[in-house]
Structure 1
Amino acid sequence: MIRAEEDKPGRLKVVVSLEKPPVAVAYDVFAQSGNQRSKIGSVNIRPGGQTQWHIEGDFDLGQADKVDIELVPSMETALHSVDVFDYWGESMLFMDVPVKRLATTTTQTTP
């Protein structure tokens, strides 16, 4: 499961939930909207494990209400894990992930 939330202006939080993958995974997580593409963070999990990663990074959503999230295999991420020795070598692309936006508040002033 993939979720995306505006953490604060200019920041995007991506939640990656994985449950019992048959092989280890080690991914860099990228967000893309229009011409903008940014690495948000990295995730890894051993085979049969279960986890939920909350990662955040700089990403200006502008007016976008959806983003594409791509999980790209990462040897560097695997090497920084103590229990991932080999990992799934295919990318996963989640298109048009809805973004939960910050609530905007307006204040009314009277002259």
Structure 2
Amino acid sequence: MTLEQPLGSVVQGSLSQGLEVRLHPDVLVEDMRVGKFLVVQGVRSRFFCMLTDVSLGTSSPRILSNPPDPANTFLQEVLAGSGTFGTIDLTPMLMFTPESRKQEGIQNSKL
């Protein structure tokens, strides 16, 4: 995993209640650690967040009632990312909105 590779997509949340991120299929849930700091990149701002929880989800309750056999790696790979997925909860701690150099120049000239 590189620093520029996205881990997932924000699927719901708020600044006060936290953000829920659905992990991309190629991201291992085991690599996620509570207390880790992550950056959520928005359109204009970056949100520095702390990872507060890791969970697993399924797209169908049938998967929970009839999980694949641990020896059936083919079915596990088929379900990974579409039928089953990892989610992480993030608590936003700091928001950073960089200003463009053009705006900084205009603001500095007024001083």
Structure number with the higher helix fraction is 2
Structure number with the higher strand fraction is 1
